[in-house]
Amino acid sequence: MQTVSENRCFGGVQGVYSHSSDACSCDMTFGLFLPDAAREGEVPVLWYLSGLTCTHENAMTKAGAQAWAAEEGLALVFPDTSPRGEGVANDEAYDLGQGAGFYVNATQAPWAPHFRMWDYVADELPALLGKEFAVDLDRQSITGHSMGGHGALTLAMSLPERYRSVSAFAPIANPTASDWGRKQLAAYLGVDESTWAAHDSTLLMAEKGFDGPVLIDQGSDDQFLDLLKPEALSQAMAAKRQEGTFRMQKGYDHSYFFVSTFMEDHIAFHANALYS
């Protein structure tokens, strides 16, 4: 692992690090904010998964999360959204390839050799963090925006007892029924749609639910509302009687202005679960 940068931030340290990834067969970069409390012992971890076209940098610089995480004594992890670099498959479209890993393990050519973001986020990066930093992996929660909200929800429901809470900002909530999903799942996983269900939070909610609290925020003026399909997830939560809250925020769009507005709520929500 190599240190790309470290900056003092709200009493803690915002770092950027790179390492050789076995899961993705390339070098990967991630951001990690450690609050001042990490100097005295291990702190709980909140994962933030970003959306289409993003890198580790977007939320790290735009979401305003560090101030609230410092106050609550939480570490924040900002993984990249896909493998990158020479020899890594890509596509001309913004919603497939580099910047659009969809947090799955690809099984199809040309994606399979590198696009294993599920294994990267679920296994490899946590192991690296536990080895190198003062983080408590027995206390983890997860959140994300758009494609990252999809990833956060599917990981949380598929890995029982891993995360104490899950939240999402404008998640891609029903990808098997959306153009933001069907295209990518077919490319990465193949045309057998039975393999897609494990990566659809609406279907997972109907089948499994989540063994903890859930918080979803969605902007009513989101320009991608028809692609996100939040109503499907809301209905599945109600039918499952899932512990949680779904909030439609009037007038907000899909941008980081929306994310940063409600970030304090999400950090407090996760801190309550992580410290309870």
For the annotated catalytic residues, the residue numbers are 146, 222, 254
CA-CA-CA-CA torsion sign (55, 77, 128, 38): positive
Q: With beta carbons less than 8 A apart as the criterion, state whether 47 and 142 touch.
A: yes
> Which token pair is 168?
């999402």
| Cα–Cα distance, 76 to 45 (Å, whole number) | 6
| Cα–Cα distance, 128 to 117 (Å, whole number) | 15
Q: With beta carbons less than 8 A apart as the criterion, state whether 244 and 237 touch.
A: yes
Alpha helices of the chain — where are they, by DSSP H?
A: 57-62, 65-72, 117-119, 125-132, 147-158, 179-189, 201-207, 225-228, 230-240, 256-275
Q: One-letter amino acid identity for 165?
A: S
| Cα–Cα distance, 72 to 270 (Å, whole number) | 9
Alpha helices of 53-145 — where are they, by DSSP H?
A: 57-62, 65-72, 117-119, 125-132
> Which token pair is 78?
């900002």
Give strand pairing partners of 244. 214
> Which token pair is 8?
């003092």
